[in-house]
Amino acid sequence: MDTLVQTRAADLPALFREKRGRLGVIGLGYVGLPICLAAARAGLDVIGFDIDKAKPEALRRNESYLKHIDAAAVTAAVESGRFQATSDLALLSEADALLICVPTPLTAHLDPDLSYVVKTAEMIAEILRPGQIVILESTTYPGTTEDVVRPILEQGGLKVGEDILLAFSPEREDPGNERFSSATIPKVVGADDELSLAAVTAVYDAFVERTVQVSSSRVAEAVKLTENIFRAVNIALVNELKLVYEPMGVDVWEVIDAAKTKPFGFMPFYPGPGLGGHCIPIDPFYLTWKAREYGMATRFIELAGQINSAMPQHVVNRLAQALDMHSERGLNGARVLVLGVAYKKNVDDMRESPALKLIELVEARGAKTEFYDPFVSLIPPTREHAALSGRRSLPWSAALAGGYDATLIVTDHDTVDYRAIVDCAPLVVDTRNACRRFGVQSSKIVLA
């Protein structure tokens, strides 16, 4: 093996410890862009790459296309000279570390769709040079880094652990979370050889407060799945408790608020209208799919998925019931205002939002819907809900809810004036307990 190549690979840890290494980030979305900005703030040179040319162009104009990321942060990174956004693949050859931050969705049959990861690995292979480390951040099943990405990278003759390095570090972004950021959330890192592990640790140590080493890429991949399965299962539990307590006249939100006063042995999770985001509705099924290869059934995970997937239908049934009890008309022919279509509060992220399924279910029952969301002005194209693409948010007015038979609160954005909504609306169906959380109470409010 060429001594120069060996030395260059071996030099990667020192290169990043001294902050002389250049970072290349592939995918400038909810994961990739925050990483770029955090690394640039820490003093690293960063090349951000995206095949969607509109994103690099916006960043070069000092604009942010993600509402939870301030344009000032983009401006600071660009003007520092440490952040370059591009759609030119060739520039990635200049990076010492290449981070893959691309989507890993499911197919229509709930099987993993690794097409974005595979295509990205193939692109990297075209420009890969000795002495680089490739780090996969996209959530996936154990074995993807070693069994899928590695063979693609090695097709040109470069060997992982010798000429090039390879590792996995699961993304832990939480858009809209003001307490934690890319730089302050501990970063799990795993690799299958000592040099790759040392290098990936040094890469993240350069801009993240703490790295946590695990013994292999498979363990690191399993860490991310475990985190999201934990959330999915516990959310399913409280969703089921909500269904059980409702006919008993017991408010599940009050129960949870009282239970969380116990200083040990309890962690609060809250029910909702269905799961959203790119992680919790999707990631558990990656393990379910992989488990079949080993003759294992993930019954607990699949049951949680069934419970969470059924919540939009429950919400629509509660809406119909509430209209029967509080108005002269039922759901058929009613006008319904959907309040919030982002998948979680205070962000513009529409990925897997339960609001889209709810709109379709409500309209299938004969109602007409419109929506207001202070973060989402336009519903973007989606594979599952293509017919809703292009619908626009209503403008805000204090009397907004007055023109509808019911207002359905789906996303509990903090900036909404819930008192104005309740004052004007003849009926409010609240799937998030938002009204009470903001101190608004009325007999017109129905929890769902």
SS3 category, 440 = coil
Q: Report the residue count for the chain.
A: 448
Burial of 295 (0-12, 13-18, 19+ CB in 10 A): exposed
> Within a 10 A sphere around the Cβ of 259, how many other Cβ atoms?
12
Query: Mutual orientation of helices 3-10 and 194-205 as an angle, nearest 10°?
Result: 40
Contact 422, 440 (CB under 8 A): yes
Query: Tokens at residue 126, please?
Result: 């075209």
Q: H-helix or E-strand containing 370?
A: strand 368-372
SS3 category, 49 = strand
d(CA 181, CA 278): 18
Q: List Cβ neighbours of 192 (8 Å cut-off, separation of 6 or more).
A: 145, 146, 160, 161, 166, 216, 217
Please spell the DSSP secondary structure of 280-294, one letter per residue. Answer: TTTHHHHHHHHHHHT
The DSSP secondary-structure symbol of 146 reads: I
Number of helical H runs and strand E runs in the chain = 17, 13
Query: Tokens at residue 256, please?
Result: 């949870």
Helix intervals (H) in 103-216? 115-127, 144, 150-153, 194-205
The DSSP secondary-structure symbol of 163 reads: T
Q: How far is CA 423 from CA 46, 328, 406, 443, in A?
A: 50, 19, 12, 11
Concerning whether 435 is annotated as a catalytic residue, the answer is no
Catalytic, out of 36, 101, 279, 424: 279
Catalytic residues: 279
